[in-house]
Amino acid sequence: MSSTSAGRPGTWPASRLFLACFTKLATKVSHASKLFNAVQKAQVSWVRIRLLMSDPIYDHYQKEEKVINDLTFNHVTTFYHGHPETAVKDINFTASANEIIGITG
């Protein structure tokens, strides 16, 4: 027998078994530590977000309500850009509140 034999067929020496198990375990521990770090970062971020969400929201912009009862168009002429002829020529109309006006032609 040689001094470098691995022993019985199908068996590993203790050192090889230890290294194989250590490698597998180290990989799992590495993944677990990355997951733990991600969870810790998420918890810290959630605390910061929760503090921001707990602050009341103040609307400093005060919208000024403008009431328009009627809208009047007098002698309005329009055309499409790049076309010399007018689309609408010298039109007059008044649109009251909540009234819908359509122009076809």
| Helix spans in the chain (H) | 14-54
Mean pLDDT of 68-96: 90
pLDDT for 105? 64
Residue 87 sits at φ, ψ, to 5 deg, of -85, -45
**38-81 residue pLDDT tens:** 999 999 999 999 888 887 877 777 778 888 889 999 999 998 88
Give every CB contact of residue 95 below 8 A, 6+ residues apart in sequence.
70, 71, 72, 73, 101
Quote the percentage of the chain above a pLDDT of 90: 28
Q: Is the pLDDT of residue 6 over 60?
A: no
Question: pTM higher than 0.85, yes or no?
Answer: no
